[in-house]
A and B are shown apart, each in its own frame.
Chain A
Amino acid sequence: MTTPLLEIKNLHAEVDGNEILNGVNLTINAGEVHSIMGPNGSGKSTLAQVLAGKDDYDVTEGQVLYKGKDLLDLDPNERACEGLFLAFQYPVEIPGVSSMQFLKAAVNAKREYHGLEELDGVELLRLFQEKAKVVNVNMEMVKRNVNEGFSGGEKKRFEIFQMAVLDSEMAILDETDSGLDIDALRIVSEGVNNMRDGKRGFLVITHYQRLLNHIVPDVVHVLVDGQIVKSGGIEVATELEEQGYAGWAEIETTTAS
């Protein structure tokens, strides 16, 4: 059996002494799309941030293997260079840094990490144009400063564009659907679907089933109070949509007792 792309084993994490992740187990193989659903405060975003390497969280127990390597041992930038990508829920605005300059730096940082020659301006531009087509974004966006003055939809599209440009192998989409209208949601989803090639892995974090109509996952997990309480096919999401999260919290209580 091949090594899974991402393996999360009994992951516990806390912030300021409050435990948020309470023993998460999750395995994603190459080519799979997994979705994590859960109520507010269940730890969805924390999981995403811990995987990306945000140092606000302390991992107190457990292990994360990425392509068989200890992910938690790597700096955030090393994780990115290894192909892990986090599409932020709230991408930060960075005045003064052009998106072009930012992407150039990111692409070449990854190439340098892998011992590859840096791309020159022409090659980069070609890359950007090609990827812009794949994920349906306008190149005009690249001329502006990173996320500065972007609408909510533009920010999310720019995240997907970066995912394509950086050719990520394991992408974590943290509530990429939040704040999007239906058209923006469709464009973002198409971008992700166009990236699905049987090799990459996706972890789609969302509060609503809506997104999963567009990006159809192989496995749906329900995260409640920092633990996955149920996993299954797309039908889990449908049930959840019909019953809400309250039911799942109860299930968790009953299983726990």
Chain B
Amino acid sequence: MTETTIDKPTDAYADTYANAFAAVVAHAEGNGTAPLNALRQAAFDDFARLGIPTTRHEDWRYTNLRKLANTAFTRPQTGAEVTADDIAPFMIAGLDAHLIVFVDGYYREDLSQIDEHPEGTAIGSIAEAYQKGCTGIGDYLGKQVDTANDALGALNTALMEDGVAVYLKAGKKIDKPVHVLSIATAHSNSAMTHPRNLIVAGEGAEATVIEHYVSLGGENYFNNTVTELFAADHAVVHHYMLEREAESATNISTLAIHQGERSDVHSHTVLLGGELVRNNVRPVMAGKDAHCLINGLFVGHGAQTLDNAMRVEHAAPNCRSRQFYKGIMNDQSHGVFTGRIIVQEDGQQTDAIQSNRNMLLSDDARMNARPQLEIYADDVRCTHGATTGQVDPEAVFYFRARGLPEDVARAMLIYAFAAEGFDRMQLVPVRALLADEMIAKLPMANKLSAEFNEEIKERLYRI
């Protein structure tokens, strides 16, 4: 309700994106994705009509995309030369996974390692799949993105070239997680990539996919990812989104989920890197008795903006959703949480819970929370809670009364606050990786002894 300054997007971007679109279409014949051109064209028309959203748009109230309107981002012609040694630091220690590597948006088969997986399942790149004639992808691609109203989704659809495809036929299971490593490099200045991922789990199928975004010296680039996830009846899919990019990056990611009857989808998001990060998670529970868990942790420092927008739609009876998002904001960082639960007329017996808890650690940090309920069915039980505050002074005193110095007490309480977000993740190696990084990022780590840090980690990993 406060008036926000409105940035008039310059006309410059129109050319930026139009040029990129022309290049993508021209390139489509070569990489086999020409069948997607019609979809691209329609989406580009939508984008041209919608433009880059301003803060006047309710969905973008707190996050200013003027950089997207005012930067001549370009589409990298090729991916940078990157070796296995270069990417070694991004491996997740202790994680046995199928590895799929994208460098500057280009699939790198040579760096990827896709181990054996059951018949009736497929793991690969979308472009590669098209080259092999798997046009069935077209039955899913674009079905879960509302390009008419979602400008960034439309932009991704217009400019998508590649991404991961994970496909499971009914009853199939991929035991090992699929680790999708997306590396942005300094190879091309002001680069933009629009990865498009597709996860299709047939009836009763099971899979775990990790999207992992990192940088190799990349500066000032723009990554706009869309992942469409289809979980058919009884399917179980666990999805991780790990944002660890350079702190000059703009990262917008959208996870659009369609759930069938009794399906179970878990989404875990951890935002640590990036300068301007927007994380959209949008499950639609279209089959009855579906369940989803939306879990997230965002830790900001410096001048980061970490914006989380959840849209959980109950479109069928007796579905259950749980949202747990936690933010820790330090320095001048700005956290945003918007969580909308929508219960459609058919969403009777909905059971929806949403919790957003945030901590501000510095005088200049800021947090905006918008927990929202939009309910059109009467037989529902929906609750949401949002709190923003500092480390609980009562708890700090309790710790001090037991002999712990104040800074140690605060550190323990902050890590404990974050740990709850990790506890819900099933992949212990992912937790370990993130815990290390979070501890490195939050300044109180050095207040604790090395041994103590180990204990904290132990707690975070809960091994």
Seen from chain A, the residues whose Cβ lies within 8 Å of a Cβ on chain B are: 52-54, 75-77, 79-81, 85-86, 88, 91-92, 94-98, 101-102, 104-106, 109-110, 113, 118, 146, 162, 166
Whether the Cβ atoms of B401 and A118 lie closer than 8 Å is: no
Residues of chain B with a CB closer than 8 A to A97's CB: 412-413, 416, 459
Q: How far is the CA of A80 from the CA of B394 in the complex (A)?
A: 16
Whether the Cβ atoms of A92 and B451 lie closer than 8 Å is: no
- List 18 additional A-B contacts (Cβ < 8 Å) besides A77-B409, A92-B395, A110-B403: A54-B397, A77-B399, A77-B403, A80-B401, A80-B402, A86-B401, A92-B392, A95-B416, A96-B415, A96-B418, A96-B420, A97-B413, A97-B459, A104-B455, A105-B452, A106-B402, A109-B404, A162-B402
Interface centre among A76, A81, A86, A109 (most CB of B within 10 A): A76
Whether the Cβ atoms of B413 and A105 lie closer than 8 Å is: no
When each residue 410-425 of chain B gets 1 if its CB lies under 8 Å from chain A and 0 otherwise, what string results? 0011011111100000
When each residue 22-47 of chain B gets 1 if its CB lies under 8 Å from chain A and 0 otherwise, what string results? 00000000000000000000000000
Residues of chain B with a CB closer than 8 A to A81's CB: 403
Measured CB to CB, the nearest residue on chain A to B452 is A105
Whether the Cβ atoms of A105 and B397 lie closer than 8 Å is: no
Jot down 5 A-B pairs with beta carbons below 8 A, ordered by A: A52-B401, A76-B401, A77-B406, A96-B416, A109-B405
Given A95-B420, A109-B408, A166-B403: A76 and B397 interface contact (C-beta under 8 Å): yes
Q: How many residue pairs bridge A and B at CB < 8 Å?
A: 81
User: Distance in Å from the Cβ of A239 to the closest Cβ of chain B?
Assistant: 33
Residues of chain A with a CB closer than 8 A to B400's CB: 53, 75-77, 80
Question: Which residue of the partner chain, among A54, A80, A94, A101, contacts B395 with CB atoms under 8 Å?
Answer: A94
Given A92-B394, A94-B413, A118-B451: A102 and B403 interface contact (C-beta under 8 Å): no
Judged by a CB distance under 8 angstroms, whether B376 is at the interface is no
Whether the Cβ atoms of A102 and B402 lie closer than 8 Å is: yes
Q: How far is the CA of A62 from the CA of B225 in the complex (A)?
A: 66
Residues of chain B with a CB closer than 8 A to A118's CB: 451
User: Distance in Å from the Cβ of A128 to the closest Cβ of chain B?
Assistant: 14
Q: How far is the CA of A102 from the CA of B419 in the complex (A)?
A: 14
Whether the Cβ atoms of B420 and A105 lie closer than 8 Å is: no
Q: How far is the CA of A37 from the CA of B59 in the complex (A)?
A: 59
Judged by a CB distance under 8 angstroms, whether B398 is at the interface is yes
Residues of chain B with a CB closer than 8 A to A106's CB: 399, 402-404
User: Distance in Å from the Cβ of A240 to the closest Cβ of chain B?
Assistant: 29
Q: Which 9 A-B residue pairings sit nearest by Cβ, starting from the closest?
A: A96-B416, A80-B403, A76-B400, A106-B402, A97-B416, A109-B403, A77-B400, A81-B403, A92-B394
Q: How far is the CA of A17 from the CA of B398 in the complex (A)?
A: 24
Measured CB to CB, the nearest residue on chain B to A54 is B397
Residues of chain B with a CB closer than 8 A to A52's CB: 401
Measured CB to CB, the nearest residue on chain A to B402 is A106
Interface centre among A105, A113, A166 (most CB of B within 10 A): A105
Residues of chain B with a CB closer than 8 A to A91's CB: 398
Measured CB to CB, the nearest residue on chain A to B357 is A95
Q: How far is the CA of A97 from the CA of B413 in the complex (A)?
A: 7
Whether the Cβ atoms of A96 and B403 lie closer than 8 Å is: no
Whether the Cβ atoms of B398 and A92 lie closer than 8 Å is: yes
Measured CB to CB, the nearest residue on chain B to A79 is B401
Residues of chain B with a CB closer than 8 A to A96's CB: 413, 415-420
Residues of chain A with a CB closer than 8 A to B413's CB: 94, 96-97
Measured CB to CB, the nearest residue on chain B to A87 is B401
User: Distance in Å from the Cβ of B449 to the closest Cβ of chain A?
Assistant: 8
Residues of chain A with a CB closer than 8 A to B409's CB: 77
Whether the Cβ atoms of A88 and B398 lie closer than 8 Å is: yes
Q: How far is the CA of A87 from the CA of B405 in the complex (A)?
A: 18
Residues of chain B with a CB closer than 8 A to A75's CB: 400, 405-406
Residues of chain B with a CB closer than 8 A to A105's CB: 399, 404, 408, 412, 452
User: Distance in Å from the Cβ of A147 to the closest Cβ of chain B?
Assistant: 9
Whether the Cβ atoms of A94 and B403 lie closer than 8 Å is: no
User: Distance in Å from the Cβ of B11 to the closest Cβ of chain A?
Assistant: 50
Residues of chain B with a CB closer than 8 A to A95's CB: 416, 420
Residues of chain A with a CB closer than 8 A to B408's CB: 105, 109
User: Distance in Å from the Cβ of B457 to the closest Cβ of chain A?
Assistant: 11
Residues of chain B with a CB closer than 8 A to A98's CB: 459
Measured CB to CB, the nearest residue on chain A to B448 is A105
Residues of chain B with a CB closer than 8 A to A85's CB: 401
User: Distance in Å from the Cβ of B192 to the closest Cβ of chain A?
Assistant: 39
Whether the Cβ atoms of B401 and A94 lie closer than 8 Å is: no
Q: How far is the CA of A106 from the CA of B412 in the complex (A)?
A: 12
Residues of chain A with a CB closer than 8 A to B392's CB: 92
Q: B277-334: which residues lie under 8 A (CB-CB) from chain A?
A: none
Q: B117-143: which residues lie under 8 A (CB-CB) from chain A?
A: none
Whether the Cβ atoms of B403 and A113 lie closer than 8 Å is: yes
Whether the Cβ atoms of B402 and A166 lie closer than 8 Å is: yes
Residues of chain B with a CB closer than 8 A to A104's CB: 455
Interface centre among B395, B398, B402, B451 (most CB of A within 10 A): B402
Q: How far is the CA of A245 from the CA of B140 in the complex (A)?
A: 77
User: Distance in Å from the Cβ of A76 to the closest Cβ of chain B?
Assistant: 4
Residues of chain A with a CB closer than 8 A to B401's CB: 52-53, 76-77, 79-80, 85-86, 88
Q: How far is the CA of A54 from the CA of B396 in the complex (A)?
A: 10
User: Distance in Å from the Cβ of A155 to the closest Cβ of chain B?
Assistant: 11
Residues of chain A with a CB closer than 8 A to B451's CB: 118
Q: How far is the CA of A104 from the CA of B452 in the complex (A)?
A: 10
Interface centre among B392, B399, B408 (most CB of A within 10 A): B399
Q: How far is the CA of A153 from the CA of B413 in the complex (A)?
A: 24
Q: How far is the CA of A98 from the CA of B397 in the complex (A)?
A: 17
User: Distance in Å from the Cβ of B359 to the closest Cβ of chain A?
Assistant: 12
When each residue 427-459 of chain B gets 1 if its CB lies under 8 Å from chain A and 0 otherwise, what string results? 000000000000000000000000110010001
User: Distance in Å from the Cβ of B401 to the closest Cβ of chain A?
Assistant: 5
Interface centre among A94, A98, A113 (most CB of B within 10 A): A94
Q: How far is the CA of A123 from the CA of B416 in the complex (A)?
A: 24
Measured CB to CB, the nearest residue on chain A to B403 is A80
Residues of chain A with a CB closer than 8 A to B419's CB: 96
User: Distance in Å from the Cβ of A75 to the closest Cβ of chain B?
Assistant: 7
User: Distance in Å from the Cβ of A108 to the closest Cβ of chain B?
Assistant: 8
Q: How far is the CA of A212 from the CA of B416 in the complex (A)?
A: 38
User: Distance in Å from the Cβ of A249 to the closest Cβ of chain B?
Assistant: 31
Q: How far is the CA of A223 from the CA of B399 in the complex (A)?
A: 28
Q: How far is the CA of A120 from the CA of B211 in the complex (A)?
A: 39
Measured CB to CB, the nearest residue on chain B to A147 is B398
